[in-house]
Amino acid sequence: MTIDVVTIFPRMFFPVLDESIIKRAKAKGLVKINVHDLRKFSQGKHKKVDAPAYGSGGMVFRPEPFFTAVEEILGEPVRSRPKSQALRRVILFSPQGRRLDQKSVKKFLKYEQLILLAPRYEGVDERVHKYLADEEISIGDYVLSGGELAAMVFIDCLTRLIPGVVSDSESVKNESFENNLLDFPHYTRPENFRGLKVPEVLLSGNHKKIKEWRLKQAVEITKKKRPDLLK
């Protein structure tokens, strides 16, 4: 899979992309991530990418740099791209987008290339929403300074689901939000910490009982903390 990010702050990404699971995924050749500076696709001496909103308001990203960036990445004009593009997807991070969750992240595994647009300021020209982005994503009902952090969250969520990235595939299957449940409690050494003991069932070696206990605990925790997931 190839992921291309378009942003005016490319250096924000490198501390995240060059560490931990994402770094290992790149080293294994399981994902290729390119970060593009939006200003390089802007016309004019000063490489401006924004302008005052028509009808008053703050600064808004102009459409030309985003369209040019996507066309150069794809190697073809946007208008000639089939709407039912099977292998590529252009994603705009926006408060208007569908909220990201574990189920929706998985559907992006089928694509060979994802182009992530990370705007700032008051947003982006409506023509980017309507005629460039295949879909819009929000990571929550709160305001960020820009789409960069949202793009990083998306990349992290997606990368760890790519087969071969996480060595223990079973651990991914049993994480929070799988099967609409939060994760079960985890314990490790020491067995007794300041009088607080590990549940005996986890020390029993009876894998069937451990599995049953974990499922029961996951259901109880979900009922208490996120009952909406069980609906």
The one-letter amino acid at 145: S
Whole-number pLDDT of residue 175: 63
Whole-number pLDDT of residue 78: 83
Half-sphere exposure for 112 (CA within 13 Å, toward CB): 5
Whole-number pLDDT of residue 84: 47
Whole-number pLDDT of residue 81: 63
Whole-number pLDDT of residue 149: 97
Whole-number pLDDT of residue 80: 64
Whole-number pLDDT of residue 171: 59
Question: What domains can you pick out in the chain, each with its CATH number?
Answer: 2-159 (3.40.1280.10), 174-230 (1.10.1270.20)
pLDDT mean for each 10 residues of the chain (231 residues): 97 96 96 98 88 89 96 87 73 94 94 96 90 95 94 97 82 66 93 96 96 95 93 79
Whole-number pLDDT of residue 167: 75
